[in-house]
Amino acid sequence: MNIAKTLVGKATDAGKMKKPYLQLGEKQEGGGVKSTGRHTVKIVSEKTARDNDPITQQPREVLQLIVEENGVEKIWNIPIKDKEGNLHYLIAKVAEVEVGDVVELEMKRHGLKNYIDFVKAGEKNKETINYDEDSQETIGGTKSPETDSDLEGSIGEIPF
């Protein structure tokens, strides 16, 4: 597919290619989610955006991080609120680091539930068990590029 490769190259050079999503887990055919292993990423930028909840398909606010893994920029969406309407545990972890910091991410299992182990690179893992009720949310949010929109400046409008 020479024409397709040429088009992808031109679109990438022009900045017209959507960044891939960071995949911390993969859905299994028989159900469940399998970890893709440890990912070392550099946080490039952050903003608020919208996507769709994977369970309810309702729009929700997310913290959208652009991260760099092995020289490739990727999108990582983290829901701002958990199922109970509280601040998502990963938002509290992300607040501990700055743009430009390198972090290690890995999806792990705790009983029947998955969670994301989030450690600043170079620090010892304290193995704090924080997990989300919904394993789908723990793999980095949903892929709904048609509903992504910048919410910059409206962070004060998110009620808790």
Confidence of residue 160 (pLDDT cuts 50, 70, 90): low
Sequence-ordered alpha helix ranges (H) in 42-102: 89-94
Confidence of residue 64 (pLDDT cuts 50, 70, 90): very high
Find the range with the poorest average confidence among 68-72, 95-99, 122-126. 122-126
Domains present along the chain, CATH in parentheses: 19-152 (2.40.50)
Three-state DSSP class for residue 116 = strand
| Ramachandran angles phi, psi of 67, nearest 5° | -120, 155
Signed CA dihedral, 126, 127, 132, 138: sign only: positive
Mean pLDDT of the chain: 81
Q: Is the pLDDT of residue 142 over 60?
A: no
Residue range 144-153: mean pLDDT, rounded: 46
158 versus 58: which is more confidently predicted? 58
**4 membership: H or E segment, kind and range:** helix 2-13
> Dihedral through CA 149, CA 155, CA 158, CA 160, nearest 10?
140
Model confidence band, residue 113 (pLDDT cutoffs 50, 70, 90): confident
Strand blocks (E) in the chain: 25-27, 33-35, 39-52, 59-69, 72-79, 102-110, 113-120
